[in-house]
Amino acid sequence: MVKTNKLNVFNDPIYGFIGTPNELIFSLISHPYFQRLRRISQMGLSYLVYPGAHHTRFHHALGSMHLMTKAIQVLKLKNVEITEEEEKGLLCAILLHDIGHGPFSHALEGFVAKEISHEQISLRFMMELNKEFEGQLDTAIAVFQGDYPKPFLNQLVSSQLDMDRLDYLKRDSFYSGVTEGNINSERLISMLNVVEGNLVVEEKAIYAVEKFLMARRFMYWQVYLHKTGLVAEQLLIRIMQRARLLLSQGEELNGSQPLLFFLKNNGTLSFNADVLKTFAELDDIDVLGALKSWQFHNDFVLSKLCKMLLDRRLLHVKVKKSPITPEKIKEKIDWIIKKHDLSVEEASNFVFQGEISNKAYSKDEAIQILKKNGKISDVLKESDQLSLKALAKTVTKYYSCYPKKAV
């Protein structure tokens, strides 16, 4: 383990100067596993919709840690007991909570290994780092897994009002320019408290909580599930699927060693320490480099999909309350089969449909409001905002993607 007395300050456009609270945090930020997050896009391919959305998971991790330091300060001032070890654990857990994201974040979730999520990969990274840092991440791992005996510590890292959400909504709103997502994180943090071991929000912040939940709904429909970003991510998934198929048929494809490793293994890997090290070498650059090379491949499907994404000449996409009829899908598939002499399977890369859903609030993990009389109540009961009740319902929409006639 490399020891250093250096501490660092990062100049963040959202919060100003963010310091490194201790040497362990500094060492974790300096580690190659964490530095990789500089090359992982926070919002996937959303920059094709919002040109400013080029920020990274590195930005977000530092911002979340900064908000955690503020939350710890607030709770300590309210006489909530947080030991030095617990404080260190909270900061490490939130700093590393997204370290397991793959290229373009959620866009290629499940591509590397079908049955392992980015949260599970984050945990693997934390366990490897814990060996390297001689057990200093024990508390962080317990908090990250939700196993720590003080529930409010787990809730600060993962809940409906955690530091992760408070940062990404404000940050993604800033970089995308979508002002509806700009929440008052300082107000929310200043009103946090703990009752019977659980995180609560004081009643004075009820309007800030309402705005937070509404902002989350707006950001999902307007940004995260934007139809253009959606079709771009679907094209990227189909590019990887096509590349994987061609490799399995003995075709030669250019690409970095880590990318080809995961493509050839078909997503059914045992995620051991060696695989984790290979994953740590994989980032957005590997994928973009491959796309730039594959656009000239002799396979029509792979080449066409890559050019569409690189040149932002995407498929036409419609989002409706009901799915498109099978007859219309068949009609569009038949057209592209005839135009480019493709098989049905090949044509389905250019004509497809699916569904998206959004639920801005879950009653199962309620945001608890601490009333002036000392009683605890669910925010839905305390809010006079009728639209807030609707946020607890899952809204499903259906999308269909198909070529513009020029394709």
- Alpha carbon distance 196, 192 (integer Å): 14
Task: Name the residue type at position 55.
Answer: H
Could you tell me where the DSSP H helices lie in 223-267?
227-248, 257-264
In-domain check, residue 116: yes
- Give, for all 407 residues of the chain, the pLDDT tens digit: 445 556 789 999 999 999 999 999 999 999 999 999 999 999 999 999 999 999 999 999 999 999 999 999 999 999 999 999 999 999 999 999 999 999 999 988 888 777 789 999 999 999 999 999 999 999 999 999 999 999 999 999 999 999 999 999 999 999 999 998 899 999 999 999 999 999 999 999 999 999 999 999 999 999 999 999 999 999 999 999 999 999 999 999 999 999 999 999 876 677 889 999 999 999 999 999 999 999 999 999 999 999 999 999 999 999 999 998 999 999 999 999 999 999 999 999 999 999 999 888 888 888 999 999 999 999 988 887 756 777 888 899 999 999 986 44
- Alpha carbon distance 333, 356 (integer Å): 22
Instruction: Report the side by side order of strands in the sheet with 316-320.
Output: 316-320, 395-402, 352-358
- Picking from 173, 199, 170, the residue whose alpha carbon sits closest to that of residue 186 is 170
- Picking from 27, 40, 164, the residue whose alpha carbon sits closest to that of residue 94 is 164
Name residues whose C-beta falls within 8 Å of residue 1's C-beta, 6 or more positions apart in sequence.
27, 132, 133, 134
DSSP annotation of 94 reads H
- Alpha carbon distance 176, 43 (integer Å): 9
Structure tokens at 273: 């320490």
CA atoms within 13 A on the CB side of 290: 25
For residue 360, what pLDDT is reported?
83
Task: Indicate the pairing of strand 368-370 with strand 198-202.
Answer: parallel
In-domain check, residue 194: yes
For residue 405, what pLDDT is reported?
65
In-domain check, residue 106: yes
The number of domains in the chain is 1
CB 299 within 8 A of CB 246: yes
Task: Indicate the pairing of strand 352-358 with strand 395-402.
Answer: antiparallel
- Picking from 95, 65, 83, 92, the residue whose alpha carbon sits closest to that of residue 149 is 83
Distance of CA 258 to the CA centre of its chain: 21
For residue 354, what pLDDT is reported?
93
In-domain check, residue 101: yes
- Alpha carbon distance 86, 139 (integer Å): 7
- Alpha carbon distance 38, 284 (integer Å): 10
For residue 2, what pLDDT is reported?
46
Please report, for the domain that includes residue 21, its CATH number. Answer: 1.10.3210.10
- Give the three-class secondary structure for 402: strand
In-domain check, residue 383: no
- Alpha carbon distance 152, 130 (integer Å): 23
Domain that holds residue 161: 9-220
In-domain check, residue 191: yes
- Alpha carbon distance 279, 266 (integer Å): 14
CB 144 within 8 A of CB 97: yes
Angle of CA points 177, 179, 182, to nearest 5°: 115
Q: What is the pTM of this model?
A: 0.93
| Residue that is written with structure tokens 């059914």 in the block | 268
Distance of CA 63 to the CA centre of its chain: 14
In-domain check, residue 250: no
CB 18 within 8 A of CB 12: yes
In-domain check, residue 253: no
CA atoms within 13 A on the CB side of 64: 28
For residue 387, what pLDDT is reported?
66
